[in-house]
Every structure is written in structure tokens, then in C-alpha cells.
């Protein structure tokens, strides 16, 4: 594989080259990882920057319908949109289960859009470990907006927030009791809460739900990266394509304020540090899966099972042998 040629084709915006590059960064093979690092270094100096928008919500809330309607609206305004949809993985094949691309038929045919479903594999909360590298590739390819969709509502929001400039939480109209089911940590992570399905018989319920969340957001401690009025709750109808432009204007306003005040650049810098530390941890864990550490770990695990040594003492012995010092020393 000619990495230099692949990089040039990505910079020209060739979709096939972009798809091939994302496949490369998702691979776990050692030679592919080395090629992926070389490619990312070549593209790093391109200086292209997209608005990264993280999106999450409970299954059935209409994320795919929203992304398609929202993406179509953005491409109609002349923007290039990439969607990185992180699917649950099949335990049998390791592949994507939901196949988001098949549920965004109109957007997938749009020449200004690119959709890439990625299996989450075993990584935290359904967020593929290499999604952030795919984001860098999409930026280099000239996309203006990158939507990162993840499954479920839970710990994954923390990881998505470390990849994105804005974080959207999509919720369905519900009764007041449902407010208790949304964890405070997720509420604190969200920049904008969107109540979807605000149409037909659910419109009045959606309006009440929006008011409930707006009230809950006002009770949260103010964050330094938010101007007056943020985070906020809004109603949208992906089906009838209502409220999407208003939501986009709010996203733009928040982004512009953060750029002017320095919060945008500071957040990107903090994310870079977060992922550096994450790579170090991942690298250390990878070493545990290779010989001779793997064999030593298995032998000590048997001793722990038989009661010959405590788990803490066994861990200290292993780390002291292969890291050269006692943990905590």
C-alpha cells in the first residue's frame, strides 16, 4: 500500500480512498497499525478542521431519522457531512448489527455525505477505539461537519465527549417520571438536549418534556465553557423536519462563542492529551497479552486461584518483574 498516494487521494476528497483508510485504522494487525500511524502523520499537517458533533440517545428515539434529516439539511446548504455511526457488534462475527447506513438511504446517496458504520467491538460503551482516527481522516478529506453517533445512554457519553466539539443528547417525549431515568452525569455532559418526535399526538407531550428538561438544566452547576442560556433543551421533529434549522443555529452560536473565548481550542488541546494517555494505557494492556508477560500472568493466575498467593501480591510481582519497579514505590 502506497501511503503517500493514499494521503494525496484523501486530501482530494476521494471517498473510496477515505473508506479504505478508515478500514486501515480500524484494523488490529501490527503492520496495518504502523501504516495507519504513518498515514495519520502525513495528514496531520493539512490544517483542515471540521465541526465534530457527538450524538447519543436511547434506542428507538429516532437517532438515524434525525441524522438523515439533519444531514440532508446541511448538505442542502452546501456543507459536506460525514457520519460515523458506531454500531453494536455481533458476538459471533464481530461485525455491525444494526447497519445504520441501510437506515439512512437518502443521505447515503447524497454526493456531499459520507456514512461509515463501524462495529463497536469490545470497547467502552459502544464507541470504537479508532473512531477518533476516522474523524481525523474525514477532516483531512474536507468534510465540514462530522456526526459521531453512539449506541445507548451510559458511560460511552464520556468517551464521545472527548472526541467532539459539541455533544447532543436526543430524547423522546415522555412523562415527568422519565426525567429521573436520565443520569445526572449525562445531563452534565450534554450541550444541547433535543426532544425528538415533536409531531402529531406527541407534540404537546414533547413540549412539556422540553420544559421539564430546561428546568432541570437550570439546576445544574454552570460550566465555564457555556455562554448564558446553555446548555439548553429544544424540540425537533426529524419526521416532519421541523426545528432542525433552529437547532443548527444554536449549535453555530455556541461554537462561535467558544471559539471567540478560547474554549474551543482549549477543549481540542485537552482532548489530544486525553487520547495520548489513553494510547499509553492501551499499549500497556496490549503488552500483557503478549509473551512472555502473558505466560507469566497465566501462571500467577493459577496460583491465585489455588490460594497460593493473594491477587494484590501476584499483581505486584508481575509488574515489578516486567516494569522494573514495585507499583506505588
Residues in the chain: 329
Average pLDDT over residues 40-62: 88
Rounded to an integer, what distance in angstroms lies between the CA atom of residue 27 and that of residue 104?
25
pLDDT of 207: 94
At 184-195, the pLDDT tens digits run: 667 788 899 999
pLDDT band at 221 (very low <50, low <70, confident <90, very high): confident
Q: What is the dihedral of CA 45, 50, 56, 59, to 10 degrees?
A: -100
pLDDT band at 219 (very low <50, low <70, confident <90, very high): confident
Rounded to an integer, what distance in angstroms lies between the CA atom of residue 108 and that of residue 15?
12
pLDDT more than 90, % of the chain? 56
pLDDT of 95: 41
- Mean pLDDT over the full length of the chain: 85
Q: Using alpha carbons only, what angle is made at residue 37 by residues 21 and 150, rounded to the nearest 5 degrees?
A: 60
Beta-bridge partners for 52: 146
Average pLDDT over residues 262-281: 90
At 10-24, the pLDDT tens digits run: 999 999 999 999 999
Q: What are phi and psi of 4, to 5 degrees?
A: -60, -45
Better pLDDT: 69 or 172: 69
Sorted by sequence, the CB contacts under 8 Å of residue 87 that are 6+ apart come out as: 96, 97, 98, 99, 100, 117, 118, 119, 120, 126, 151
pLDDT band at 309 (very low <50, low <70, confident <90, very high): very high
Q: How many CB atoms lie within 10 A of CB 283?
A: 9
Q: For residue 88, give the C-alpha cell.
A: 453494536
Rounded to an integer, what distance in angstroms lies between the CA atom of residue 193 and that of residue 187?
8
In what order do the strands lie in the sheet containing 51-57?
A: 113-119, 81-87, 145-149, 51-57, 166-171, 192-195, 232-235
Q: Does residue 124 surpass a pLDDT of 50? A: no
Give pTM, 2 decimals.
0.85
Amino acid at each position: 500500500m502506497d501511503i503517500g498516494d493514499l494521503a494525496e487521494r484523501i486530501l482530494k476528497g476521494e471517498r473510496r480512498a477515505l473508506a479504505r483508510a478508515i478500514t486501515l485504522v480500524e484494523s488490529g494487525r501490527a503492520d496495518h497499525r504502523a501504516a495507519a500511524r504513518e498515514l495519520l502523520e502525513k495528514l496531520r499537517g493539512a490544517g483542515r478542521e471540521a465541526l465534530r458533533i457527538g450524538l447519543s440517545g436511547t434506542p428507538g428515539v429516532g437517532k438515524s431519522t434525525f441524522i438523515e434529516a439533519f444531514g440532508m439539511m446541511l448538505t442542502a446548504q452546501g456543507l459536506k457531512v460525514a457520519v460515523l455511526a458506531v454500531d453494536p457488534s455481533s458476538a459471533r462475527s464481530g461485525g455491525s448489527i444494526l447497519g445504520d447506513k441501510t437506515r439512512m438511504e437518502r443521505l447515503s446517496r447524497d454526493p456531499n455525505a459520507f456514512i461509515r458504520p463501524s462495529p463497536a467491538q469490545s470497547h467502552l460503551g459502544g464507541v470504537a477505539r479508532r473512531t477518533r482516527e476516522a474523524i481525523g481522516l474525514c477532516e483531512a478529506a474536507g468534510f465540514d461537519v462530522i456526526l459521531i453517533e453512539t449506541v445507548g445512554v451510559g458511560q460511552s457519553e464520556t468517551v464521545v465527549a472527548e472526541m467532539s466539539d459539541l455533544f447532543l443528547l436526543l430524547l423522546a417525549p415522555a412523562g415527568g417520571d422519565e426525567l429521573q431515568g436520565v443520569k445526572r452525569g449525562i445531563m452534565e455532559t450534554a450541550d444541547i438536549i433535543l426532544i425528538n418526535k415533536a409531531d402529531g399526538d406527541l407534540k404537546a407531550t414533547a413540549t412539556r418534556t422540553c420544559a421539564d428538561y430546561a428546568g432541570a438544566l437550570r439546576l445544574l452547576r454552570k460550566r465555564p465553557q457555556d455562554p448564558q442560556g446553555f446548555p439548553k433543551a429544544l424540540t425537533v421533529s426529524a419526521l416532519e423536519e421541523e426545528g432542525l434549522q433552529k437547532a443548527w443555529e444554536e449549535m453555530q452560536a455556541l461554537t462561535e462563542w467558544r471559539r471567540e473565548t478560547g474554549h474551543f481550542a482549549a477543549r481540542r488541546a485537552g482532548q489530544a492529551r486525553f487520547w495520548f494517555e489513553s494510547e499509553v494505557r492501551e499499549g500497556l494492556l496490549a503488552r500483557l497479552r503478549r509473551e512472555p508477560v502473558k505466560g507469566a500472568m497465566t501462571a500467577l493466575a493459577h496460583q491465585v486461584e489455588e490460594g497460593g498467593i493473594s491477587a494484590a501480591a501476584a499483581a505486584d510481582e508481575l509488574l515489578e518483574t516486567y516494569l522494573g519497579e514495585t507499583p506505588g514505590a
